Amino acid sequence: MLDTSDPRSTATRLARDIAEDDAFRTALADLIAFPTDASAPDAPLHAYLAHVAQGFGAMGFETQGFTADGHPFLLASRIEDPARPTVLGYAHGDTAPGMEGRWAEGRTPWTLAEDAATGRWYGRGIADNKGQMLVNMTAMQAVIAARGSLGFNAHVLVEMGEEIGSPGLRKLCARLKDRLAADLLVASDGPRVAADRPTIFLGARGGATFRLRLKRRNGGRHSGNFGGALRNPALELAHALASLTSPKGALQVPGWVPEGVPDAARAALAGLTPAGGEVDADWGAEGLTPAERIHAWNSAEILAFSAGDTAHPVNAIPDAAEAVVQLRYVPGIDDSDLGAALRAHLDAQGHGDIVIEGDGPRFRASATPVDHPAAQFAAASLARTSDEMPVVLPSLGGSLPNDIFTEVLGIPTIWVPHSYPGCAQHAPDEHLPRAIFADAAGLMAGLYWDIGAAAPAELLGD
């Protein structure tokens, strides 16, 4: 029996109960069954959104589909009282490629599978981002059942292209700016710092990727007859890549290095062990903790590097070399032309012959300040439900289209992730512990309940 004398506890317990019910498992399996690989030309993106629209419709939301830059979107809205705060939610239904045939134990990406021994549920999108969206829908359902209403107005925007750079999202938000007007964003994506540790992050590092090419001639040259007297583009590019950081991995490109870690961010990250502890404490910028390096600093990584044929090397100096470099960066640096900063650095190092091209989608860095009233409100709500203060991260280490919400819509952003670092998103065997769903649903029900009970000044400050 639920304790109806405390309606907030009723909502949080009901959310947990729903997440532990077989109907939740069925609903999750239905979402995963849509092979919504964002890179596949025949992916059933519209069918997935139609299915999700039915779920929101059953909760009293009005739904409408949109298209921007050829990509589909769903907007679900529930307007209860214009005088109450309005919360914008966000999710994406597209996934990374399924990688069929590479999953263990005969599992397939588009079928929900359970490992009873470990308590893990498997399926593509379960962590990124279908399962997280279902948790939030479950929490809203529980609040509506316990209170009779959400207590606030809600929009939820679902896109189908996040994995390929969110094409059309910025344009759609600009087009629907008045309709999407909200007091804050509350959404879920990315991992907690640990499966059992409630977490909030307030933005995301930006991401910019560059392809570096150096071609010296057509065809290889014999390494004995020419070695030592002919430029080797692989060696030249290796030296250029090595100049991006110190021997210990500290970023050295002027214009790519932040001025410092804000005091509020440093305090929030104090004592935190990031990425499940799988870090090298002596790698990266000096004077920073690993948590500060991931969540409050910039990093440059070599994602790929090739020259010649490594599978079948021959005794020849390669004629060309190529590498892909990615910058992850926090707010506060001039990102108007990050490629120009890289160009200037390579030129100064004597590598003016290297060609630089932008490569792949670009995300801008953005974040709500750690001391923003909405961040403090959300942290207090999660602490009230879980009896422990959540970890508050200034930024997710990865990248999300957070800047669209902060810049185009002009609202603070609160992200409450329901995954964990070892979930294998973007890889075979993507999974989540079954227990995380009930825990997360309870946390979100508490947060939605508190938003519905709060005065606007309490939620957002004066």
- What residues pair up with 120 in beta bridges, in sequence order? 115, 433
Whether residue 129 is preceded by a cis peptide bond, meaning omega within 30 degrees of 0, is yes
Same domain? For 54 and 178 the reply is yes
Say yes or no: 29 and 58 in one domain. Answer: yes
Please indicate, yes or no, if residue 272 is contained in any of the structural domains: no
Q: Which residue has the tokens 């590479």?
A: 102
Do 444 and 306 fall into the same domain?
A: no
pLDDT digits (tens, 9 = 90+) for 191-241: 999 999 999 999 999 999 999 999 999 999 999 999 999 999 999 999 999
Residue that finishes a domain, picked among 358, 383, 399: 358
Q: What pLDDT sits at residue 429?
A: 98
* Domain co-membership, 302 together with 374: no
The values of phi and psi at residue 302, to 5°, are: -90, 115
Do 183 and 163 sit in the same domain of this protein? yes
* Total of domains in the chain: 2
Same domain, 32 and 79: yes
Q: Is residue 321 domain-shared with residue 340, that is, in the same domain?
A: yes
Q: How far is CA 90 from CA 1, 185, 322, in A?
A: 33, 8, 37
Q: Please report how the helices 7-19 and 434-453 are oriented relative to each other, as an axis angle in degrees rounded to 10.
A: 150
Is 268 a domain residue? no
Identify whether 117 is part of a domain: yes
Using a 10 angstrom Cβ sphere, with 0-12 exposed, 13-18 middle and 19 or more buried, the burial of residue 147 is middle
Is the per-residue pLDDT at 2 higher than 50? no
Q: Is residue 165 part of a domain?
A: yes
pTM of the shown model = 0.90
Three-state SS letters, 402-427:
HHHHHHHCCCCEEECCCECCCCCCCC
Q: Which domain holds residue 174?
A: 7-204+365-460
Same domain, 194 and 86: yes
CATH number of the domain residue 40 falls in? 3.40.630.10
Tokens 């910058």 belong to which residue?
327
How far is the C-alpha of 321 from the C-alpha of 457, rounded, in Å? Answer: 57
Same domain as 100, residue 161: yes
Where would I find the beta strands (DSSP E) of 250-310?
Answer: 299-307
Q: Are residues 213 and 244 in the same domain?
A: yes
Q: Is residue 311 part of a domain?
A: yes
Length of the chain: 462
CATH code of 225's domain: 3.30.70.360
Higher pLDDT, 274 or 260: 260
pLDDT digits (tens, 9 = 90+) for 117-135: 999 999 999 999 999 999 9
pLDDT score of 4: 59
Kindly state the tokens that stand for 106: 């005969």
Residue 407's identity, in one-letter code, is E
Q: Is 282 part of any domain?
A: no
Question: Does 169 lie in the same domain as 127?
Answer: yes
Q: Does some domain include residue 290?
A: no
Name the domain boundary from 339, 358, 377: 358
So what's the pLDDT on residue 377?
A: 97
Question: What are the structure tokens assigned to 385, written together?
Answer: 């439900």
DSSP bridge pairs for 321: 214, 307
Helices marked H in 192-324: 233-242, 263-269, 290-295
Domain assignment present for residue 144? The answer is yes
> Do residues 174 and 307 both lie within one domain?
no
Which of 358, 376, 403 terminates a domain? The answer is 358
pLDDT in tens, 358-392: 987 788 999 999 999 999 999 999 999 999 999 99
